[in-house]
Structure 1
């Protein structure tokens, strides 16, 4: 089986950056992987909006992941193609990145703008939960990550979610 060379993959990588943006635009929630103070992992999800290179989520302290996010612990974020839309379950399109977190001050200019965008994206329920005192607004800021667009099509991405290079110069190997 003849696979694409690393140089060919690098040349083909740039057109994939818009595909990352399309995946983000098609998605309504992010998957979250966090750890608590003892290092115990927790996975969850949250609806989001993407504004100025950050992903914003409105989350409750009743959820385990919220304290982990608020404390600025290690966080991994994934946006993944819907199972019902994929042609191949083993090769779902996905963007995964490490992120730093920021807490957005309630009733600040940023809070009001982002909550407005969340309302536009996810409906009036946002008004209800934004008024609850246990909900906080967290910014997720990409550091580095990867984008997968099928078998042998995996790329490193930077903090701006731009393709850097092909992730595996050896590709998948047959027996």
Structure 2
């Protein structure tokens, strides 16, 4: 049986965590299927993440050619109580290019980026090589500490469900003793 109160609390924590971060790590695939890691400033929308990427940047080209990607948003090292268990959320996403002529969808996303990232967004969005992408989660994982990892199911940032992953770390000695 699922604990709806716990799921609601975790969803609120996750929303706060996302609101307090400004950049994400982005893993895209090149034309040969090789992964490419980068980062980008972001803003959240209704169940999605927005990024503004240049055609000059490898990750921008990669997303235009292959919409499958992964996102990692992680607690800053200086804020972490332990470097081995930084708070983080990762998502598998599908990217959608939102063209300039998309009207309100484009304008609303740029406004969200501007609110989070500042005036530079208006300068960059006015350049012809910059493209807006909407990253929609298809699942993910929220990790708060050792033994406190949660699977995020569904197509939203906080998931349609958040389930505690209970099969965790085991001591090597205990494994050997049970063999």
Backbone CA RMSD of aligned residues: 1.6
1:84 is aligned to 78
Does residue 36 (structure 1) correspond to residue 34 (structure 2)? The answer is: no
2:55 is aligned to 61
Question: Alignment partner of 2:162: what SS?
Answer: strand
1:170 is aligned to 167
Q: TM-score, normalised by structure 2?
A: 0.86
2:139 is aligned to 144
2:121 is aligned to 126
Give the 3 Å change call, closer, same or farther, for CA 133–89 of structure 1 in structure 2. Answer: same
8 Å CA contact 2:28–2:63 kept in 1: the answer is yes
Does residue 112 (structure 1) correspond to residue 100 (structure 2)? The answer is: no
Show CA shifts across 1:63-99 (max 9, x none): 1011111223320011111111110110011110100
Kindly state the Cα deviation for residue 128 of structure 1 after the two structures are TM-superposed.
Answer: 1.1
Task: Measure, in 1, the Cα distance between the counterparts of 2:17 and 2:39.
Answer: 16
Q: Tell me, which stretches of 5 or more residues in structure 1 are unaligned?
A: 1-6
Q: TM-score, normalised by structure 1?
A: 0.88
Task: Measure, in 2, the Cα distance between the counterparts of 1:151 and 1:101.
Answer: 31
Kindly state the Cα deviation for residue 13 of structure 1 after the two structures are TM-superposed.
Answer: 4.4
Does residue 71 (structure 1) correspond to residue 65 (structure 2)? The answer is: yes
Show CA shifts across 1:20-60 (max 9, x none): 11110111111100111101211011111111111001110
Q: Tell me, which stretches of 5 or more residues in structure 2 are unaligned?
A: 174-179
Report the number of matched residues.
166
Kindly state the Cα deviation for residue 170 of structure 1 after the two structures are TM-superposed.
Answer: 2.7
Kindly state the Cα deviation for residue 129 of structure 1 after the two structures are TM-superposed.
Answer: 0.8
User: Which stretch has the larger CA shift, 48-57 or 113-122?
Assistant: 113-122
